[in-house]
Amino acid sequence: MQLTQKHHEYWNRNLKVTGILLALWFLVTFVMGFFARELNGITILGFPLGFYMSAQGSLIIYVAIIWYYAHYMNNLDQEYGVHEGEEE
């Protein structure tokens, strides 16, 4: 079918949130991993920060990223009327 303006808008907003979350994922994984030696100079609650981020901190952020994406997209579906019907 011919996609409407609204459909394109939905897809663009999807791309936007995907891009932002991906950037966050990249930051906590690769940027923080790259600077782990430097981050270890900071100590929080007994943990060197670089170690803590790789052992647990980044994991918490990953879970949050996925939760936020599911939440955001499921609402976006409703907003743009592309959510699945009752029969699904």
Partner 1 sequence: MASQSTAAFTKQLTKYYSFYTGGFIGFVIFVAILEQMGVPNRILGYIFLGFTILLYAGIGFMSKTAEVSEYYVAGRRVPAFFNGMATGADWMSAASFIGMAGTLYLSGYDGLAFVLGWTGGYCLVALFLAPYLRKFGQFTIPDFLGARFGGNIPRLIGVFAAIVCSFTYVIAQIYGVGLITSRFTGLEFQVGVFVGLAGIMVCSFLGGMKAVTWTQVAQYIILIVAYMIPVVWLSIHHGFGPVPQVAYGYALQKVTDREKVLNDKTTPDGAREESVRQIFRDRSAAADAKLKGLETGGAGFLVEEKKKLEDKVAALKTAEAPDAKAIEAAEKATKDFPVDAAKAKEQWTKDKGISARAAPIKPHAQPFAGKDEKASDIARKNFLALILCLMVGTAALPHILMRYYTTPSVKDARKSVFWSLFFIFLLYFTAPCLAVLAKFDVYTILVGSKFSELPAWVSAWATVDKTLMNISDINGDGIVQLAEIVIGGDLIVLATPEIAGLPYVITGLVAAGGLAAALSTADGLLLTIANAMSHDLYYKMIDPHASTTRRLAVSKGLLVVVAVVAAYVTSLKPGDILFLVGAAFSLAASSFFPALVCGVFWRRANKLGAILGMVSGLGICMYYMYMTYPFFGIKAPLWWDIQPISAGIFGIPAGFIGVIIGTLISAAPSKEVQDLVDHVRYPNLETDYKAAVI
User: Binding residues for partner 1, per CB under 8 A?
Assistant: 1, 3, 7, 10-11, 14, 18, 21-22, 25, 29-30, 33-34, 36-37, 40, 45-48, 50-52, 54-56, 58-60, 62-63, 65-67, 69-70, 73-74, 77, 82-88
- In the chain the first and final C-alpha atoms are separated, in Å, by 20
Q: Which is nearer to partner 1, 5 or 62 (CB)?
A: 62
Q: How far is the CB of 77 from partner 1 (least distance, A)?
A: 5
Q: Find the DSSP H helices in the chain.
A: 5-26, 32-34, 36-39, 49-52, 58-79
In the block, tokens 């609650």 appear at 45
